[in-house]
Structure 1
Amino acid sequence: MTNEAPTVDGTLLLDEQLCFALYAAQRAVTAAYRPLLDELGLTYPQYLVLLVLWERGETTVKELASALRLDYGTMSPLLKRLEAAGLVRRERSARDERSVLVACTGRGEELKGRAERVPGTLLATTGLGTAEVTRLREELWGLAERAQGAADRTR
């Protein structure tokens, strides 16, 4: 008699699920970011918004939501909290009244300097090397693309 669990195609064992491994990894990575972002006074989603704004500069809410793969209903309260904290400003576009532009304030730009240490600190605390991170990121983007294709085909 063995103590090995049987393996079957289509298994319903939790630890055999790709989705659960991704979920657990995402939660663990977010938890590892938390103390670093707490020092900045940011939540993880707020940090992601600022990353896009630091990279692109002023952008529309629609473009920001697309970049972060979030819906408008999620973006609006997130941006309101960042605006209340004095880190971003929102204003209607002069060219298109339906469009809202978002940009960092001076305070939001100042935070960028402090945030620049976050990625390196996270790598150091997790023990991941640059090559490993690059490989993981490429594999995850490939998976995201395939999964999005599958989701689009079922709509």
Structure 2
Amino acid sequence: MRGFPWPVLTISLLLTLPAFAADWPQWRGPAGTGVSEEKDLPVVWNETRGIAWKCELPQWGTSTPAIWGSSIFLTSHTNDNKLQLVCIGKTEGKIAWTREVGSGEAVRKTPEKRGAQKFHEIQNLASPSPVTDGKTVVVHFGNGDLAAFDFAGKE
């Protein structure tokens, strides 16, 4: 899976959200079930169908977006090891702000040397998903960094 275009995949999953999604404040949604109550969602989307907008992400992360009102929050782990919270406007699909929370890298050891430690080969420190109560968005990363921001990006 090396070289897989994660920003494209992640944003593709977000593309139909502006028109349909209710608030999705945490991983697996408001009830923690992973089930959406939305109706009449597109069943097909590609480069020309079922897409409201596209947004190129700064780097990649594998968190589930948190969505509240007109804001989409997700995490990113840059190639120079910066850990970021990214806010995208749900209606226009543009990055509203990006905040650096910390830095770090996931040390990958060979299977013989890591013992009981398991690292999924496609995850990074930006895998944990942001959460929100509609006023504050809280984010943490795989290195333990934790931060809270208001919807304007103020820590």
| Structure with the larger strand share | 2
**Is the structural similarity TM-score above 0.5?**
no
What range is the shorter-chain TM-score in? under 0.3
Q: TM-score, normalised by structure 1?
A: 0.23
Q: TM-score, normalised by structure 2?
A: 0.23
| Structure with the larger helix share | 1
Larger RCO of the pair (alpha carbons < 8 Å, separation 6+): 2
Larger Rg: 1
